[in-house]
């Protein structure tokens, strides 16, 4: 626990020292999302987030974690589509089934947020921009892509949420 706390404290200090100002990060997210959706229009297996289901915080996730909803309203109502516990396991829900995906240390890049995780059945990619920072918590907005490796179905959804302790 002390090792994780020290790690995140160092990450936080690094972020503070390297923080860059952008004109409007939310505008970049919207533009990136629109461009991504245009690319998807040609894909037969691309689907909206309808294949992903909302769920409450899993009981086994305590302490430092990342959790994302489809939008700010769902986030405030604790209806998540992605939750992880900073390096052990990530959770999504599809087809009525809670899916647990093992993670490796180092899957978190806070400045230019990107996570790539997978198990034998699913591949999950999250990309987001930091929109706010409070104490030990970073707020993000971006997009999540989930691929079902067995069926080839791909699901894309906007995400809004936080990582912190």
pLDDT score recorded for residue 161: 97
pLDDT band of residue 16 (cuts 50, 70, 90) is: very low
* Region of 135 on the Ramachandran plot (φ > 0 left; ψ -120 to 50 alpha; else beta): left
Separation of CA 125 from chain center: 8
Please enumerate in sequence order all residues whose Cβ is within 8 A of that of 24, keeping only pairs 6 or more positions apart, or say none.
none
Please enumerate in sequence order all residues whose Cβ is within 8 A of that of 67, keeping only pairs 6 or more positions apart, or say none.
57, 61, 75, 80, 82, 83, 84, 161, 162
The pair of structure tokens assigned to 86 is 């900073």
The per-residue pLDDT of the chain, averaged, comes to: 76
pTM of the predicted protein model? 0.70
Residue 70's domain comprises 2-164
The pair of structure tokens assigned to 23 is 């004109």
Domain count, the chain: 1
110-157, pLDDT tens digit by residue? 667 888 999 999 999 999 999 999 888 999 999 999 999 999 999 999
């Amino acid at each position: 626990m002390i090792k994780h706390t020290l790690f995140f404290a160092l990450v936080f200090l690094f972020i503070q020292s390297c923080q860059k100002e952008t004109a409007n990060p939310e505008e970049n997210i919207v533009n990136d999302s629109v461009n991504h959706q245009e690319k998807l229009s040609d894909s037969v297996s691309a689907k909206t987030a309808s294949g992903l289901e909302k769920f409450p915080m899993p009981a086994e996730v305590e302490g430092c974690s990342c959790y994302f909803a489809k939008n700010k309203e769902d986030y405030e109502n604790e209806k998540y589509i992605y939750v992880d516990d900073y390096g052990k396991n990530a959770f999504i829900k599809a087809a009525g089934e809670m899916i647990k995906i093992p993670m490796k240390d180092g899957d978190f890049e806070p400045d230019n947020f990107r996570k790539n995780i997978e198990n034998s059945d699913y591949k999950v990619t999250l990309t987001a921009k930091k929109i706010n920072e409070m104490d030990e918590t970073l707020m993000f907005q971006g997009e999540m892509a989930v691929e079902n490796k067995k069926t080839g179905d791909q699901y894309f959804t906007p995400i809004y949420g936080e990582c912190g302790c």
